[in-house]
Amino acid sequence: MIISMKLHSTRQEIEQVCERIRDFGYKIHAIEGEQRVVIGAVGVGDTTACLESVEAMPQVEKAVRISAPYKFVSKEFHSERTRIRVNGWEIGGDEFIVMAGPCSVESEKQIMQAAEAVAESGAHLLRGGAFKPRTSPYDFQGMETEGLKLLAKAKLATGLGIITEVMSDRDVDLVAEYADILQIGARNMQNFALLKTLGKCSRPVLLKRGMSSTVKELLMSAEYVVAHGNPNVILCERGIRTFETVTRNTCDIAAVAALNELTHLPVILDPSHATGKRSLVPALSRAAVAIGADGLLVEMHPAPEKAMSDGAQSLDIPQFRKMMLDLRPYVDLWKESRVTQAIAAV
Ligand code: PEP
Ligand code: MN
C-alpha cells in the first residue's frame, strides 16, 4: 500500500497514520518527500480494511493498493507455473490436456461408450456430471451417487481420470472418493463455504468462472481454496453473460490470456458452455490452443439428440474424434512454444 499524506502534515499526524498501519500488521517501508510525505506499507493482512481505516483519517490524502489482493494465486508472489499431477498427467505442464465427456452421467451404456471414445481419441480425462446444477427444479438433477459409481466403472475400464462436479460442501468427501478433479460450477464460484471446504480437500479443484463474475473475482475465489490449504486449483473460462444472444454465453477468450499474465495457476477453456453450439466448439478449441490455455473441458455425447442436458452443445463421437485429429498440428505448435517459454524463463 502507498499512503500519501496531505501537504504540510505534522510529524505527529504522520506517526498516528504509521501506528494505524502497524496495528493492521504491516511494516512501514519508506517515508519520503520534502513537502508531501508518502508512506509505503508492506506485509500480508486485511489490506481492504487497512486502506479504508487509513483513508478515513483526516491527515490522509489518498491510500492505494499496490499489489494484487490475491496473494497466493498471483504471479507477483510466485512466478513459476503451477503444475498439477492428475492420474499420470500434468495440468499446467508440457501437455495440452483434454477433458471430455457428457454433460451428465445418464446410464452405464452412455458413460461407457463416451469413456471409450474419449480414451481412443487421445483425450486425457473423462468428464460427466452426477450432481447437476439445473436452472429448473423439474429438470434432470443427475444420478448422484449412482452416477459416481458409473464414473468409477468407466475409470476402471479405460484408465481415464475423472472430473465431476460437487455442488455442496456436504458432498465434498463423497465426490472426492470417486473424482480425480472436483469441478466447481459457474453457479457456485462464490459459494464461500464450499470453497473453504475444498481448501481442506486433497483433490485438485477445477474452478469455473461465474457467469457474471470478473476475472478478479475468479482469482479471489481461487485464493479462498489456496489460502485454506489446497494449492491445486485449475481455472476455467466458460463464457459470461452479455447482451449477445447468438451464443449461449460470450466466450471471453481474452480472459485466458489475461489470467496467464496474472496467475501461475493452470487455465483451461470450456468451449461447450461458452458457445452453447456444437458447430462452434472446434473453432473455439483451436483458439484455446493458440491463446496458450492449458487444456479444454469439452462436452461429448454418444447420442446428443437424446442427451438429458446440454445436447445442443455436445459433439457426437465422430465429431469429437475429428476435432481431436484436427487439433494435433495446433497442439504440436503449442508444445514447441511451451518449450521456448521454459527456456526463456531459465
Ligand atoms: C457443466 O460443466 O456441465 C456445467 C454445469 O458447467 P457451468 O457450471 O459452467 O455452467
Ligand atoms: Mn453442461
Answer whether 99 contacts ligand 1 (Cβ < 6 A): no
CA distance 259 to 269: 12
Answer whether 238 contacts ligand 1 (Cβ < 6 A): yes
Expressed in angstroms, the distance from the first to the final Cα of the chain is 31
Non-local (6+) Cβ contacts of 279 within 8 A are none
At 317-332, the pLDDT tens digits run: 999 999 999 999 999 9
Nearest residue by C-alpha to atom 9 in ligand 1: 186
Distance (angstroms) between ligand 1 centre and the Cα of 136 equals 14
CA distance 117 to 200: 34
Q: Map out the domains of the chain as residue ranges.
A: 2-64, 84-345
Q: Which of the listed residues 270, 275, 284 should we mutate to test ligand 1's pocket, taking the one with most ligand atoms within 8 A of CB?
A: 270
pLDDT greater than 80 at residue 2: yes
- The average confidence (pLDDT) of the chain is 96
pLDDT greater than 80 at residue 242: yes
At 102-159, the pLDDT tens digits run: 999 999 999 999 999 999 999 999 999 999 999 999 999 999 999 999 999 999 999 9
CA distance 316 to 278: 9
Question: What's the CA angle centered on 253, arms 249 and 258, to 5 degrees?
Answer: 130
At 156-175, the pLDDT tens digits run: 999 999 999 999 999 999 99
Answer whether 100 contacts ligand 1 (Cβ < 6 A): no
Q: Which atom of ligand 1 is nearest to the CA of 186?
A: 8
Distance (angstroms) between ligand 1 centre and the Cα of 207 equals 10
Which of the following CATH numbers is that of domain 2-64: 2.170.270.10, 3.30.70.1140, 3.30.1330.10, 3.40.1160.10? 3.30.70.1140
Distance (angstroms) between ligand 1 centre and the Cα of 68 equals 28
Q: Which atom of ligand 1 is nearest to the CA of 209?
A: 9
Q: Which atom of ligand 1 is nearest to the CA of 133?
A: 5
CA distance 131 to 236: 19
At 10-68, the pLDDT tens digits run: 989 999 999 999 999 998 876 777 778 999 888 878 899 999 999 999 999 999 988 88
pLDDT greater than 80 at residue 1: yes
Tell me, what's the pLDDT at 342? 83
Q: Which atom of ligand 1 is nearest to the CA of 273?
A: 9
Answer whether 127 contacts ligand 1 (Cβ < 6 A): no
Answer whether 219 contacts ligand 1 (Cβ < 6 A): no
- Residues of the chain with pLDDT > 70, as a percent, come to 100
Distance (angstroms) between ligand 1 centre and the Cα of 294 equals 18
CA distance 32 to 290: 46
Residue 51's region, left for phi above 0, alpha for psi from -120 to 50, else beta, is alpha
Nearest residue by C-alpha to atom 8 in ligand 1: 185
The domain defined by 84-345 folds into TIM Barrel (3.20.20)
Length of the chain as a residue count = 346
Find the mean pLDDT for residues 244-262. 98
pLDDT greater than 80 at residue 261: yes
At 268-312, the pLDDT tens digits run: 999 999 999 999 999 999 999 999 999 999 999 999 999 999 999
Task: Return the HEC string of the chain.
Answer: CEEEECCCCCHHHHHHHHHHHHHCCCEEEEEECCCCCEEEEECCCCHHHHHHHHHCCCCEEEEECCCCCCCCCECCCCCCCCCEEECCEEECCCCCEEEEECCECCCHHHHHHHHHHHHHCCCCEEECECCCCCCCCCCCCCCCHHHHHHHHHHHHHHCCEEEEECCCHHHHHHHHHHCCEEEECHHHCCCHHHHHHHHCCCCCEEEECCCCCCHHHHHHHHHHHHHCCCCCEEEEECCECCCCCCCCCECCHHHHHHHHHHECCCEEECHHHHHCCHHHHHHHHHHHHHHCCCEEEEEECCCHHHCCCCHHHCECHHHHHHHHHHHHHHHHHHHHHHHHHHHHHC
Strand order in the sheet with 38-42: 27-32, 38-42, 2-5, 60-64
